[in-house]
Amino acid sequence: MVDQPKKTKKPRTSVELFAGGGGLAMAVHQAGFRPLLFNEFNKRACETLVASARKTLGADGVERVEDTKPEPPRPGRPAPLYPGDVRDLDMTAFQGKVDVLAGGPPCQPFSAGGVAKGDEDKRNMFPAMFKAVREIRPKAVICENVRGLRRPSFADYFQYIQNELTLPFEKRDDEVSWESHNEHLKGIISGLPENDTDPDHYKVVMVPVNAADYGVPQIRNRIVLVAFRADIPVDIEAFEKYVNTPQFSDTALWRSMLDEDGPYWRRHSDVAPRAKERARTWARAKLPKPTKEEDPKIRPWRTLRDAIQGYGTDVKLPALPPVDLTRLDEKFDFGKKIGVVDHIGWPGARIYQGHTPNELDRPAKTVKAGVHGVPGGESVVLLDTGYADRTSPDGWTHHHRYMTVRETARAMTFPDEWLGSGPRGEQMRQLGNAVPVVLGEFFANAVADALSAAGH
């Protein structure tokens, strides 16, 4: 974006709904927003928010409340966490005090991995999000969801969601169908002036994203909706151009690993020759002929190996200790030696049709919550080591194992201080449902900069 300051003097504030394990909440906080309220329905996720808050969400922490009409906390006090149905909350006490309302309404109604009932599904929480907008009147809204919203079967309803976010105060009556209400909204929107400044209206930007293009070591296709209150003179065109411009690319990754002593391999100098050549062969096959001059500012996609070795974000972390191949049949804690929790081996990893594993020298596959626990291929990784195998096309088969919770958290760009509550499957569910911190922080920073440029 053009001429927008990186830092703001006035502390900004946020409210987080559907907080889950805290990915978007951590992102918004790291972008300089002070949390005023959290909401999350799942018991284990609430435990995670409380356990991790002081290290990941600031020294003020998080405090459970049962009051359905909470008050904004004073500076230095913990942010209230309402551990119940968001539809029961009355957030009118926060009106005019919130810069950003953030949240990812449950995605199961629109996910390809679920039943996909869409707007008819009781888990569709977009109406609750619009109710919160009416009560809080935030300056901006950040909403993340699955790309399934763009499927042809949901296209009309997805447009309706954007129309409702544009006109949240045009409340739909219970007896009115969403189709009829959408026609009503479209009629109003078609008559709005280009320079609409009505404080009851919002200007909506829809951004399809692959998280890898924003620095996340994972292929994760999602939708991000950002809305600014219309009375705030945000340069929407500049904002839209900025957030739609990828910061990282696959081509840059392939070029960085083409040569044996390329930048990628200098970072990972201990990789076995066979594994290195496998990755370089893949890079040569994928690299297209240049069609235009490449932007030198575009950085290489980050890989799963980057994440495990501590290069998965701009902040270098200690490399995670290797998982000993002789102990793959044990639930052994490999993170103890460096004080990292949840780096625990898990036995029984399998590779089977339809569940291809992760490869270390590519971004991780999409981390999924899983309907029946953790899916097969999404949590299995091929290793550098292996054995001769005549049945394999190249005469070699790589060892494989389950990824640990901590490795998966790093693929989601969660800090090592994040403490997931519950057993392994529950922690993986929270990670699969979350927003990668680096992705969320990019959008939260962009929103903060846009507000600053607009004099807010």
**Does some domain include residue 5?**
no
Could you tell me if residue 354 is left (phi over 0), alpha (psi between -120 and 50 degrees) or otherwise beta? left
Same structural domain for residues 235 and 103? yes
- The confidence score (pLDDT) of residue 150 equals 83
* pLDDT tier at 122, thresholds 50, 70, 90: low
Same structural domain for residues 61 and 133? yes
Q: Looking at the predicted structure, is the pLDDT value of residue 42 above 50?
A: yes
Higher pLDDT, 146 or 1: 146
Same structural domain for residues 173 and 297? no
Q: Alpha-carbon distance 140 to 239, whole Å? A: 13
Same structural domain for residues 113 and 212? yes
The residue with tokens 């002070």 is: 34
- The confidence score (pLDDT) of residue 382 equals 92
Q: Looking at the predicted structure, is the pLDDT value of residue 346 above 60?
A: yes
Same structural domain for residues 239 and 378? no
**Does some domain include residue 7?**
no
Q: Looking at the predicted structure, is the pLDDT value of residue 374 above 80?
A: no
Cα distances (Å, whole numbers) of residue 398 to 319, 394, 449: 22, 11, 46
**Does some domain include residue 336?**
yes
Q: Looking at the predicted structure, is the pLDDT value of residue 403 above 80?
A: yes
Number of folded domains that form the chain:
2
**Does some domain include residue 436?**
yes
Same structural domain for residues 303 and 414? yes
Same structural domain for residues 296 and 408? yes
Same structural domain for residues 243 and 314? no
Cα distances (Å, whole numbers) of residue 351 to 356, 377, 381, 400: 6, 7, 9, 8
Q: Looking at the predicted structure, is the pLDDT value of residue 432 above 60?
A: yes
Task: State the Cα torsion 378-384-389-391 to the nearest 10°.
Answer: 40
Task: Give buried/exposed letters for 277-301 (b at 16+ CB in 10 A, else e).
Answer: ebbbeebeeeeeeeeeeeeeeebbb
Look over the chain and give the mean of its residue pLDDT values, rounded to a whole number.
89
Same structural domain for residues 62 and 199? yes
* pLDDT tier at 371, thresholds 50, 70, 90: very low
Q: Looking at the predicted structure, is the pLDDT value of residue 268 above 90?
A: yes
Q: Looking at the predicted structure, is the pLDDT value of residue 292 above 50?
A: yes
The percentage of residues in the chain with a pLDDT greater than 70, rounded to a whole number, is: 91
User: Any idea which of 96-105, 228-237, 370-379 has the lowest mean pLDDT?
Assistant: 370-379
Task: State the Cα torsion 385-387-388-389 to the nearest 10°.
Answer: -110
List, for residues 174-202, the tens digit of each pLDDT value: 888 888 999 999 999 999 998 999 999 99
Q: Looking at the predicted structure, is the pLDDT value of residue 115 above 60?
A: no
Domain containing residue 235: CATH number: 3.40.50.150
**Does some domain include residue 1?**
no
- Is the Cβ–Cβ distance between 224 and 214 less than 8 Å? no
Residue 180, phi then psi, degrees to nearest 5: -65, -40
Which structural domain range is residue 38 located in? 12-247+429-453
Same structural domain for residues 271 and 123? no
Looking at 191-331, list the stretches that DSSP marks H as alpha helix, in order from N- to C-terminal side: 236-243, 250-258, 263-267, 273-286, 304-308
* 143 belongs to the catalytic site: no
Q: Looking at the predicted structure, is the pLDDT value of residue 5 above 50?
A: no
- Is the Cβ–Cβ distance between 144 and 438 less than 8 Å? no
DSSP summary character for residue 61: -
Same structural domain for residues 130 and 232? yes
List, for residues 52-65, the tens digit of each pLDDT value: 887 888 778 899 99
The one catalytic residue in 37, 45, 101, 107 is 107
Q: Other CB atoms closer than 10 Å to residue 38's CB: what's the count?
A: 30
- Is the Cβ–Cβ distance between 136 and 95 less than 8 Å? yes
List, for residues 210-224, the tens digit of each pLDDT value: 999 999 999 999 999
DSSP summary character for residue 344: B
Q: Looking at the predicted structure, is the pLDDT value of residue 394 above 80?
A: no
Region 408-434 average pLDDT? 94
